[in-house]
Amino acid sequence: AWGLRQDSQVVLYDDGPGAFAARAWWLLHWLGKRDGVYLLDGGLAAWKAAGLALTNGESSLRPGDFQGQPDASLLI
């Protein structure tokens, strides 16, 4: 699962106003990943504006063990 483990810390962002990152946060929450999932305030633009480091290229991740289970109680 994309290198995602139950104990992973995940920071979600996008290059727009945050709608895609928020959707990813909600989906992970719905699938049971409720701890260690964060939205980057201001997204990628804020990160760049702060002069923080960026990397390009592929990363190597260990295979993930997260097995999401949809939580029907979160649906209306």
Q: Is the pLDDT of residue 28 over 80?
A: yes
- Distance between CA 62 and CA 3 in Å, rounded? 5
| pTM given for the model | 0.81
Could you tell me the residue ranges of all domains in the chain?
7-51
In percent, how much of the chain has pLDDT > 90?
A: 68
Q: Is the pLDDT of residue 15 over 70?
A: yes
Q: Is the pLDDT of residue 1 over 80?
A: no
Q: Is the pLDDT of residue 4 over 80?
A: yes
Q: Is the pLDDT of residue 67 over 70?
A: yes
Q: Is the pLDDT of residue 39 over 90?
A: yes
- Distance between CA 28 and CA 13 in Å, rounded? 14
